[in-house]
Structure 1
Amino acid sequence: MKIKKAIAIIIMVFVSAVTFAQTKKLDKIIKRDYQIIEGTIAKISDKTVEYSLPGETVQISLDVSQIARIDFASGRSQTFDVSPENNAPVSNQIVVQEIKPNTIAVLPVPYLNSDNQQSSEDMAKFAQNDLYNKLLDKSSNIFPLTVQDLRTTNSLLHKAGIDHTNIDETPIQDLEKILGVDNIVAAKISYTMSESSTATTYNSGSAKVSDNNKKVKTNDISTTSANTQMYYHYNVYFDMYKNTTKIYSQTRKPFLNLKDSWIDSISYLLKRSPIYVKK
Structure 2
Amino acid sequence: MKHLTIIVFSLFVSISSWAQNAKNDVILKLNGDELTGKVQQINDNEIVFSYAGETLTYVIKKSDILKITFASGRIEVINKPAQPATSSSNNGGAPKPAAAGSLEDHHNKVAFLPFTFTKDGQATDDAVGEEVQLEAFNLLSKHAGVFTILNPRITNAILIKAGINKSNVKGYTMDDLCNILGVEYVIEGAVTQNKTTQTVTSNTYGQVKTKDKDDGKNAKVNTSTYGTAQQNYQTSLNLAIYNDKGVTVYSQQRNAFWNTQDAYKNTLEYLMKRTPLYTK
Aligned twin of 1:240 = 241
Structure 1, residues 88-147: CA drift from partner, whole Å, max 9, x if none?
Answer: xxxxxxx9964522211111011111x24232322111100111111211122xx2x211
Q: Which amino acid aligns with 1:230?
A: Q
Aligned twin of 1:135 = 140
Aligned twin of 2:218 = 217
CA contact (8 A) 1:101 1:181 kept: yes
Match for residue 105 of structure 1 among 98, 111, 116: 111
Q: Which amino acid aligns with 2:157?
A: S
Q: Which amino acid aligns with 1:211?
A: D
Change in CA separation of 1:181 and 1:157 when aligned onto 2, cut-off 3 Å: same
Alignment of 1:125 onto 2:146 = no
| Separation (CA, whole Å) in 1 of partners of 2:164 and 2:254 | 26
Secondary structure of 1:211's match? helix
- 1:165 positional shift: 4.9
Aligned twin of 2:228 = 227
- 1:209 positional shift: 5.0
Q: Which amino acid aligns with 1:219?
A: K
Aligned twin of 1:206 = 209
- 1:169 positional shift: 5.3
| Separation (CA, whole Å) in 2 of partners of 1:165 and 1:132 | 23
Which range moves more in the overlay, 150-159 or 183-192? Answer: 150-159
Q: Which amino acid aligns with 1:250?
A: Q
- 1:227 positional shift: 0.3
Structure 1, residues 193-222: CA drift from partner, whole Å, max 9, x if none?
Answer: 13332332222222335427xx34222212
| Separation (CA, whole Å) in 2 of partners of 1:149 and 1:139 | 13
CA contact (8 A) 2:143 2:279 kept: no
Gaps of 5+ in 2: 1-96
| Separation (CA, whole Å) in 1 of partners of 2:269 and 2:225 | 41
How many residues are aligned here?
Answer: 178
TM-score by length of 1: 0.58
Q: Which amino acid aligns with 1:109?
A: F
- 1:261 positional shift: 1.4
Structure 1, residues 216-274: CA drift from partner, whole Å, max 9, x if none?
Answer: 42222121112010222110100011231001111111211112211111111111111
Report the aligned-residue RMSD: 2.3
Aligned twin of 1:196 = 199
Structure 1, residues 44-97: CA drift from partner, whole Å, max 9, x if none?
Answer: xxxxxxxxxxxxxxxxxxxxxxxxxxxxxxxxxxxxxxxxxxxxxxxxxxx996
CA contact (8 A) 1:206 1:220 kept: yes
Which range moves more in the overlay, 157-166 or 188-197? Answer: 157-166
| Separation (CA, whole Å) in 1 of partners of 2:257 and 2:276 | 23
| Separation (CA, whole Å) in 2 of partners of 1:181 and 1:158 | 16
| Separation (CA, whole Å) in 1 of partners of 2:130 and 2:99 | 23
Matches within 5 A, 1:63-74: none
Aligned twin of 2:184 = 182
CA contact (8 A) 2:117 2:190 kept: yes
Aligned twin of 1:149 = 151
Aligned twin of 2:34 = none
CA contact (8 A) 1:111 1:123 kept: yes
Q: Which amino acid aligns with 2:110?
A: I
CA contact (8 A) 2:144 2:277 kept: no
| Separation (CA, whole Å) in 2 of partners of 1:165 and 1:129 | 20
Change in CA separation of 1:138 and 1:96 when aligned onto 2, cut-off 3 Å: closer
Change in CA separation of 1:166 and 1:133 when aligned onto 2, cut-off 3 Å: farther
- 1:166 positional shift: 4.7
